[in-house]
Structure 1
């Protein structure tokens, strides 16, 4: 197989290189729903159970075990451009852990995306790009669009312009078929360890 150079390393010659905007059907975030003033007027955070949960990096770091931030029905409907249904790719785009990539869980609540994160849906394989964005190459590209030192961050525009590989679909599926069982095994081992610790 022949290879070519890309901004994130060598890739097979048959792989294309495109900006994220060319391979996604949706890139959105919390502020896509309105101005800061309208968000402040329509969204109130609550620590008691209500209509929906705001999915945050803090929840991912806590294995989605609780201490959620809730919003009421009005806020949930107001945040219509960033509703979550489970399994979406979420990327932290502000703060010390900028570039952290995780999947939205399936919780027994309605869900919406919290501030300081981007949600992305790809036209083809979300699974392939989930693994790629978490890889050394994907993390290198995410770091390349980060600005600021006191408060590292990147915005949706820079993210949409970021270059990614576009393998043929059968290559994407083959890579996922190798990586997904490994991810499942890691998750299972983590659950076993958590149960033993408890």
Structure 2
């Protein structure tokens, strides 16, 4: 039985939804990054033709979140103990990355992308529609701030404690002392065994 026939048999089974997830093609490289301007190209999508900026890229799920596109109501729970009421907010939902294309910076229409190298060796995205370079957004160079813990109180009182030498090279380490004790006990046991055997 050929591989094509086996694949067709698996696809014709009733619970083929599980199989489709395994057969999905994950892209080897992502043309769309956070901060790019994209347009919805899927014709049966309710937001067809809308443009927006990519707010988030979910590569493990092959989905993206576009600002102002695919907005739906979302219910936030309230907390009676704190006195916070529940409310409904409008929030962007994610969509599959194949439903959108990058917007050509020259024409303003969606385009496919190819890659090329400049004379200085930098890799750039090239629009297939106009041949223009699509630069990476500036937002990628900005890193989100980290929650760094900084202590205002110092453990040392004065500068002398900072520069004080605390390592003593003459003092043997505790591991060396333990090793010597272990070797002594082994020698004693071997001597006792030698006396017992003779």
TM-score (normalizing by structure 2): 0.21
Q: Higher Cα Rg: structure 1 or 2?
A: 2
Specify which structure has the higher proportion of helix.
1
**Comparing both chains, which one has the higher relative contact order based on Cα–Cα distances under 8 Å and sequence gaps of 6 or more?**
1
TM-score (normalizing by structure 1): 0.21
